[in-house]
Amino acid sequence: MVLFEERFLNDFKIGISISESQDIYKYGLGTMHLEDITVEMARYLLACGAIIAYGGNIKYNKTPNYTVIL
């Protein structure tokens, strides 16, 4: 089954930058929400043919490390 008739983002380079902020907690969100949206957005973009360019700190010592998640 084909979900997309054409890969309308084929070969587009799309940059993603994810960072945590203390402000998200006051809206009832947390790091788990950032993980979820990061993975879901990456899946969607890849399924549409995009090339993902992610900017992150590979040596970031906190959990989660979004570079590792992707």
64 HSE (CA, 13 A, CB side):
17
Q: What pLDDT does 31 receive?
A: 83
Average pLDDT over residues 23-37: 88
**Could you read off the pLDDT of 33-60 as tens digits, one per residue?**
888 888 899 889 988 899 988 776 656 5
Domain count, the chain: 1
User: What value does the mean pLDDT take over residues 22-36?
Assistant: 87
Q: How confident is the model at residue 28 (pLDDT cuts 50, 70, 90)?
A: very high
- Does the residue 5 lie in any domain? no
Q: What is the DSSP letter of 63?
A: S
Range of the domain at 28: 13-69
Residue 37 to residue 31: CA distance in whole angstroms:
10
Whether residue 67 contacts residue 54, with contact meaning beta carbons closer than 8 Å, is answered with: yes
66 has pLDDT over 80: no
54 assigned to some structural domain:
yes
Residue 7 lies in a domain: no
Question: Of 63, 61, 68, 67, which is closest to residue 31 (Cα–Cα)?
Answer: 63
